[in-house]
């Protein structure tokens, strides 16, 4: 098998298919920064595409065989690009090696003394962002790859010159098994991506393999409060540092105080105070994310002061309880939650904020997830004062199941189903009033509804 490391040299010529995605556009910039000549293609114009062109990376709109020119030495594709893509077919017919996006990121991570990889069913983007803030405060000059936009970077990535890379590590299609972590963080494990994994046991098997990607002298950072995580790691031949609210955890929190959207607490490491932390993002789940980031920082020898000030400067990542503005006196927030467990955490957090009424605009993500976790979704969608459902975002799938958001609406008393964004917009404008919080939620394009509302 050809190793992508063979192509990580200045002046090598690569083509990225699906270059406009968050991780792919970041990869393009990193490769460009390493001196490679990069081109790409994407199905749509976007801010990412425009930014890449501004850096001198040519991007074609639409996928066509002629985009793979004779001088291309390798092709990298995103997970959404399949073997029948014309550019992939052209590359293979020309004998050009085709790599997965995670293979490229994995090869890049090999060049770093410290590779901090953050995995979990929920919380990856936020925790990766927190780790970035901490290592920036510590002047470690890290290279970063996040699955979302971080205001500190004004991007989802950063090309640094230090000896550390921080990477969000996704389990879908076993993507994170291409990475080479020296510190592997597991935030939690639940049944998800059941269009790929057979069941929870299969998911746990994948996370175990991820943890075992660390070298024998590496470290696994694990959530002591999460039964699935601890079962997955039982007996592993690696050093394990735990975090959580349980007293038995190596890194835990005491004296937790919440004030509005902020929290303050002491971080305790192996029974002694390590530092105190003020967070400007709401919810107990973010306290736990901060504990995970702190545990990872401790493994990397980061000072308590850098942890304290790094976390104090964190105000959230893009699409993670992101304030979008106001409409008719209502606060409009957007969140990426697309799994029942994430919805639960989001709604638990909002219930503590004192709004008169919670209006949830939810766009389910993929037909397979909606069908597999249908009852769990219904349980959470019954919680807000009013639930408004957009149609399911197909993403990579075709609707062979015959499922619709209308089926969810039938089970959630008092909910509304709006098949189009135009109908959603009209509905929200009629509903919004002072004292409300309006949440646009999902991993698709539902954020556009909130943005149009406030603009």
pLDDT in tens, 119-178: 999 999 999 999 999 999 999 999 999 988 899 998 888 889 999 999 999 998 899 999
Instruction: Kindly report the CATH number that applies to the domain delimited by 322-454.
Output: 3.90.190.20
Domain ranges of the chain: 4-100, 112-312, 322-454
* pTM for this model (two decimals): 0.88
Using pLDDT thresholds of 50, 70 and 90, give the confidence band for residue 254.
very high
CA 297-298-301 angle, to 5 degrees, is: 90
Mean pLDDT, range 71-84, rounded to an integer: 94
Residue 84 burial (CB count, 10 A): 7
State pLDDT tens for residues 354-363: 999 999 999 9
Token digits for 296?
Answer: 């990872």
* Predicted pLDDT of residue 147: 84
Per-residue pLDDT at 37 exceeds 70: yes
Q: Please tell me the predicted confidence (pLDDT) of residue 21.
A: 86
How much is the average pLDDT of 315-322? 92
| Number of Cβ atoms within 10 Å of the Cβ of 1 | 5
Q: Which fold has domain 112-312?
A: 3.40.1190
pLDDT in tens, 4-19: 999 999 999 999 999 9
Task: Note the residue count of the chain.
Answer: 455
Nearest to 360 by CA among 349, 372, 371: 349
- 206, 174 in Cβ contact below 8 A? yes
Q: Give the separation between CA 189 and CA 203, rounded to whole angstroms.
A: 8
Which residues sit opposite 361 in a β-bridge? Answer: 388, 440
Nearest-angstrom CA–CA distance, 342 and 335:
10
The pLDDT tens digits for 357-413 are 999 999 999 999 999 999 999 999 999 999 999 999 998 899 999 999 999 999 999
Q: What is the largest CA-CA distance in the chain?
A: 63
Say whether pLDDT at 111 is over 90. no
Over the chain, what HEC string results?
A: CCCHHHHCCCCCEEEEECCCCHHHHHHHHHHHHCCCEEEEEECCCCHHHHHHHHCCCCEEECCCHHHCCCCCCEEEECCCCCCCCHHHHHHHHCCCCEEEHHHHHHHHHCCCCEEEEEECCCCHHHHHHHHHHHHHHCCCCCEEEEEEEECCCCEEEECCCCCEEEEECCCHHHHHHHCCCCEEEECCCCCCCCCCCCCHHHHHHHHHHHHCCCCCCCEEEEECCCHHHHHHHCCCCCEEEEECCCCCCCEEEEEEEEECCEEEEEEEECCEEEEEEEECCCCHHHHHHHHHHHHHHHHCCCCHHHHHHHHHCCCCCCCCCEEEEEECCEEEEEECCCCHHHHHHHHHHHHCCCCCEEEEEECCECHHHHHHCHHHHHHHHCCCCEEEEECCECCCCCCCCCCCHHHHHHHCCCCEEECCHHHHHHHHHHHCCCCEEEEEECCCCCHHHHHHHHC
Mean pLDDT of 21-38: 91
**Tokens for 240?**
């394990």
**Average pLDDT of 299-326?**
96
The CA distances from residue 358 to 326, 355, 433, 455, in Å, are 14, 7, 11, 21
Give the per-residue pLDDT at 173.
Answer: 87
Residue 1 has pLDDT above 80, yes or no: no
Beta-carbon count within 10 A of 257 CB: 9
More confident residue, 2 or 381: 381
CATH number for region 4-100: 3.40.50.720
Mean pLDDT on 213-222: 97
Q: Show which residues are catalytic.
A: 124-125, 168
The rounded distance, in Å, linking the Cα atoms of 32 and 254 is 45
Question: How does residue 197 score in pLDDT terms, banded at 50, 70 and 90?
Answer: very high
Query: Would you state the pLDDT for residue 396?
Result: 80
Asked whether 43 and 67 are in contact (CB, 8 A), the reply is no
> What is the model's pLDDT at position 239?
98
Quote the CA–CA distance of 282 and 126 in Å, as a whole number: 12
């Amino acid at each position: 098998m050809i190793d992508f490391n063979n192509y990580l040299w200045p002046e090598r010529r690569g083509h990225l298919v699906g270059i406009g995605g968050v991780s792919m556009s970041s990869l393009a910039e990193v490769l460009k920064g390493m001196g490679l000549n990069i081109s790409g293609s994407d199905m749509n114009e976007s801010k990412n595409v425009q930014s890449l062109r501004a850096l001198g990376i040519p991007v074609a709109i639409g996928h066509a065989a002629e985009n793979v020119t004779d001088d291309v030495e390798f092709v990298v594709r995103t997970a959404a690009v399949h073997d029948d893509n014309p550019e992939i077919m052209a590359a293979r017919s020309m004998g050009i090696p085709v790599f997965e996006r995670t293979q490229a990121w994995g090869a890049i991570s090999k060049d770093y003394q410290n590779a901090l990889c953050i995995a979990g069913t929920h919380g990856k983007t936020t925790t990766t962002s927190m780790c970035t803030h901490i290592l920036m405060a510590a002047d470690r000059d890290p290279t970063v790859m996040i699955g979302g936009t971080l205001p500190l970077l004004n991007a989802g990535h950063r090309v640094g010159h230090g000896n550390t890379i921080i990477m969000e590590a996704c389990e879908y299609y076993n993507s994170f098994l291409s990475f080479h972590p020296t510190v592997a963080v597991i935030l939690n494990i639940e049944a998800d991506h059941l269009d790929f994994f057979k069941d929870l046991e299969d998911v746990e098997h994948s996370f175990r393999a991820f943890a075992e990607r660390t070298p024998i002298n590496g470290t696994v950072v694990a959530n002591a409060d999460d039964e699935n995580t601890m079962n997955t790691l039982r007996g592993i031949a690696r050093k394990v540092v735990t975090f959580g609210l349980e007293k038995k955890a190596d890194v835990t929190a005491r004296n937790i105080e919440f004030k509005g959207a902020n929290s303050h607490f002491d971080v305790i490491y192996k029974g002694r105070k390590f530092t105190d932390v003020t967070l400007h993002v709401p919810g107990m789940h973010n306290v736990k994310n901060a504990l995970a980031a702190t545990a990872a920082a401790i493994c990397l020898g980061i000072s308590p002061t850098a942890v304290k000030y790094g976390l104090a400067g964190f105000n959230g990542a893009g699409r993670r309880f992101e304030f979008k503005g106001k409409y008719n006196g209502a606060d409009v927030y957007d969140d990426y939650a697309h799994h029942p467990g994430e919805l639960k955490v989001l709604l638990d957090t909002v219930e503590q904020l004192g709004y008169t009424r919670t209006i949830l605009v939810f766009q389910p993500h993929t037909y397979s997830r909606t069908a597999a976790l249908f009852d769990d979704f219904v349980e959470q969608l019954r919680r807000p004062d009013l639930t408004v459902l957009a149609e399911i975002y197909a993403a990579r799938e075709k609707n062979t199941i015959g499922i619709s958001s209308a089926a969810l609406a039938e089970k959630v008393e008092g909910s509304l189903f709006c098949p189009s964004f135009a109908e959603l917009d009209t509905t929200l404008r009629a509903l919004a009033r002072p004292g409300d919080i309006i949440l646009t939620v999902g991993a698709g394009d539902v954020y556009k509804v909130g943005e149009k509302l406030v603009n």
